[in-house]
Structure 1
Amino acid sequence: MTRTFTLAHTSFFAVTLALGLAACGSKDNQGVSTQVVAKVGSEEISVHQINQVLRHAGTANASVSAMGHEVLEKLIDQQLAINEATESKLNRSPQVVAEIEAARREVLAKAYMQQITSSLTKPTPEEIKSYYVKHPELFAERRIFNLQEIIVPTMPNLAQQLRSLAAGGKTTEEVSAWLKGKDIAFSSGSASRTAEQIPLEMLATIHPLKDGQSAVLEATQAITFLRINSSQQAPITEAEALPSIEKFLSNQRTGEAMTAKLKELRANTKITYMGEFAKAESASRTPSTDNSNNIEKGVAGLK
């Protein structure tokens, strides 16, 4: 999907957020670009600032154009507000100072992580095609599911009993009646989901099932009886899927690199938690053997 940028229906404050810190403090940019396009009092606005806004907006051409003129007018409005804020000494307000510092931290951290990931290699055509072949449930055999679910609290032996009901072809209505007969509280719901909207852990269990079949999924605090009420084939060809797979694999590679680097930095830096966070940090060290978080999130999405 092509990303477009328009200011026609953009509020002043929304544009201000888009402009970011780079548009503030025109004097700081004078050394970067001397192509001044406007003066607001004694403050200058440069082509560099306009181009930066256009780049952040994702436009293909960051030259001064009709769109650039619109951006300039918003920068002028912003500078007028900045001048008044400075005159009123709002720049010394503790809240404003804190927000500027938070933005500075975010920009610096993002710049560093971009530096780390900029040298990563792109997924090869072979890797992209391999992912397509290994995941027919997402592509060649993709389906749209009409799912019904029943969620019950985790109880001893309950999952096994529900699996027996699933194997026996019981419907969600029959399972609901069975639970009511045993005074077991539960919640139920239904939803239509495409294959890619279901976590891979769940999809691996659901995909082999035929319409009318059910599965039982166990999570930390809940058990889910999930039935495929109906489904329809909606395959995606390799040519259609390749761009999305490339983007997914690139994002995955970036995420893994960032996680690895932060893990390394944490290992080589002394980090001391204080006060109430010291106790919370100690509790967070407790290892978890449960891998059902994604399943829980996926099931929650059906509600």
Structure 2
Amino acid sequence: MAHQAGRTFALSIIVAAMLAACGGGSDEKKPATQVAAKVNSGEVSVHQINQVMQRSSVSDPEQARIATRQVLERLIDQELLVQQALEKKLDRDPKTLQAIEAARREVLSRAYLEQVSSAAPKPGDTEVKEYYAQHPELFAERRIFSLREIAIQAGADFLPKLQQYMAEPRNMQQLADWLRGENVKFNANAVTKPAEQLPLEMVKNIHQLKDGQIGIVRSGNSILVLEVAASRSAPVDEKAAQPVIEQFLLNQRKTELAKAELKNLRTTGKIEYLGEFTAPESSGAVAESAAPAAAPAGDAAVDKGLSGLK
């Protein structure tokens, strides 16, 4: 979190410096409002640019300067379009009003969940060490895999038949030919991915495979057959992994807090379903789907955190 705050502050400084340089050699003082550009009767502020840049992953100063200019130009385009929309009174159009209200509700609900999740305590050093030790496939024994994949579009009932066929030594071409003979739809692909870019529930199984070996895993509504064509070791030491693990565990806690709060609100609130929506089959599933908006997914955090270590 401190790293994110530091990067945000650095980007703000770069934005301010870059915009000051864009002002040429004029000795006039810049207005207190920190206007980046005047657009007809409107304007684009430095604050608007900073807000966009805070969501950027750019950290290199030169790249940030280029990105800042691009953001400014996009905001100018946006301001021109907004002015035209207001001139044509599109802000009073029923569809536009509905979209604005939907966006407002989304922003407010996310803001509340973010406020709730901000109370999540930072994980301690012991927790970080334990997570590092428990997941060698992501860190100490991390590998970059060259995989051949066959994604089979079949339900769980097909799995025993597939496992029986693969019990004998088979290669991926033989499997593909067999699936065609069984009239089973599938997609074949070849990818190279580090461990953290694989679904966390798969990594442990794939990590156990040696080069040339084949494994079968469930993936959503599909069955995935994977062959490790090749792999290379790319370990991450504990010091380098620490901030990644801290952020991952913190994100988990934020998500748990958000889910708990939403569950509490549903329990204490008065909810009455009417008409065709009376007695829903699974209202709990709706609550589950809403809470994770407060924080990024855990595996995505690991992926993003380790991306610079490849």
Alpha carbons of 1:95 and 1:229: their partners in 2 closer, same or farther (altered >3 Å)?
same
- Classify the secondary structure of the residue corresponding to 2:190: strand
Q: Distance in 2 between matches of 1:159 and 1:77?
A: 53
- Counterpart amino acid of residue 135 in structure 1: H
Tell me the residue number matched to 2:280: 282
Whether 2:302 is the aligned partner of 1:271: answer: no
- Counterpart amino acid of residue 109 in structure 1: S
- Classify the secondary structure of the residue corresponding to 1:257: helix
Tell me the residue number matched to 2:162: 162
Q: How does 1:196-215 map to 2 (within 5 A)?
A: 196-215=196-215
Listed one character per residue, the Cα deviations across residues 71-117 of structure 1 (whole Å, up to 9, x for unaligned) are: 99998987776666545433322123223222322232222222212
- Classify the secondary structure of the residue corresponding to 1:260: helix
- Classify the secondary structure of the residue corresponding to 2:280: helix
| Superposition deviation, residue 55 in structure 1 | 4.5
Q: Distance in 2 between matches of 1:76 and 1:179?
A: 54
Q: Distance in 1 between matches of 2:173 and 2:87?
A: 68
List runs of 5+ in structure 1 lacking aligned partners. Answer: 8-34, 61-66, 288-303
Quick check: 1:167–1:214 contact (8 Å CA) kept in 2?
no
**Which TM-score applies when normalising by structure 2?**
0.63
Tell me the residue number matched to 1:25: none
**Which TM-score applies when normalising by structure 1?**
0.64
**What's the Cα RMSD here?**
4.2
Whose Rg is larger?
A: 1
Whether 2:106 is the aligned partner of 1:106: answer: yes
Whether 2:158 is the aligned partner of 1:153: answer: no
Q: Distance in 2 between matches of 1:225 and 1:72?
A: 47
Quick check: 2:145–2:230 contact (8 Å CA) kept in 1?
yes
| Superposition deviation, residue 262 in structure 1 | 0.7
Q: Distance in 2 between matches of 1:257 and 1:101?
A: 27
Quick check: 2:34–2:46 contact (8 Å CA) kept in 1?
no
- Classify the secondary structure of the residue corresponding to 2:202: helix
- Classify the secondary structure of the residue corresponding to 1:153: coil
- Counterpart amino acid of residue 170 in structure 1: R
Alpha carbons of 1:286 and 1:96: their partners in 2 closer, same or farther (altered >3 Å)?
closer
Q: Distance in 2 between matches of 1:44 and 1:229?
A: 58
Alpha carbons of 1:86 and 1:218: their partners in 2 closer, same or farther (altered >3 Å)?
closer
List runs of 5+ in structure 2 lacking aligned partners. Answer: 16-31, 60-66, 286-310
Q: How does 1:215-254 map to 2 (within 5 A)?
A: 215-218=215-218, 221-254=221-254
| Superposition deviation, residue 221 in structure 1 | 4.8
Q: Distance in 1 between matches of 2:109 and 2:274?
A: 23
Listed one character per residue, the Cα deviations across residues 210-246 of structure 1 (whole Å, up to 9, x for unaligned) are: 1122222246754333222222211112222112111
- Classify the secondary structure of the residue corresponding to 1:240: helix
**Equivalent pairs, count:** 250
Listed one character per residue, the Cα deviations across residues 4-33 of structure 1 (whole Å, up to 9, x for unaligned) are: 5899xxxxxxxxxxxxxxxxxxxxxxxxxx
